[in-house]
């Protein structure tokens, strides 16, 4: 396996004007969708950072989810095919996109359009995983309504 596709591509790009770390943090926190950063620890991929949109979407505070594997959002809902895709992508150090049934802290279901992108940091020699979570529950509800309407039409 080669990390070439995950290395810092800025090595060959002219240096850009850097964004202040505090501004970068504020911009990520202001994003509409959930953003997480994780790293591997044994068989787990533990969360090191969650933005405010992730907190709002899930109902969990950083204290409740940092240094844990994100699978706590799955509850008892086992989604073997999607989970296999995630594990394979992490093992192969490749990006992946899946749709998962996740559960908020209060137990309510939401549909999570999840994208995970690996990034290898040469300085620390650590593979990080950037996760972007988009709540697509309203889209899934419309999909279900459409399926019901189509079934009625075909009766």
pLDDT average per 10 residues of sequence, the chain (155 residues): 47 66 91 96 92 97 94 86 93 95 96 96 92 95 89 88
- Reported pTM: 0.81
pLDDT digits (tens, 9 = 90+) for 62-74: 999 999 999 899 9
Q: How far apart are alpha carbons 28 and 79 in whole angstroms?
A: 29
Q: How far apart are alpha carbons 121 and 139 in whole angstroms?
A: 36
Name all domains of the chain by residue range, CATH numbers in brackets: 4-153 (3.30.450.20)
| Burial group, residue 66, by CB count within 10 angstroms (0-12, 13-18, 19+) | middle
């Amino acid at each position: 396996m080669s990390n070439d596709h995950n290395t810092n591509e800025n090595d060959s790009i002219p240096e850009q004007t850097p964004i202040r770390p505090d501004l970068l943090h504020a911009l990520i926190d202001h994003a509409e969708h959930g953003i997480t950063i994780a790293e591997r620890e044994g068989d787990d991929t533990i969360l090191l950072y969650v933005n405010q949109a992730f907190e709002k979407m899930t109902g969990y505070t950083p204290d409740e989810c940092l240094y844990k594997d994100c699978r706590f959002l799955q509850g008892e809902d086992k989604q073997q095919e999607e989970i296999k895709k995630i594990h394979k992508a992490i093992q192969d150090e490749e990006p992946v996109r899946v749709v998962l049934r996740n559960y908020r802290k209060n137990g309510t279901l939401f549909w999570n359009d999840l994208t995970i992108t690996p990034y290898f940091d040469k300085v620390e020699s650590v593979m990080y995983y950037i996760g972007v979570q988009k709540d697509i529950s309203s889209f899934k509800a419309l999909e279900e309504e459409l399926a019901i309407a189509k079934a009625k039409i075909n009766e």
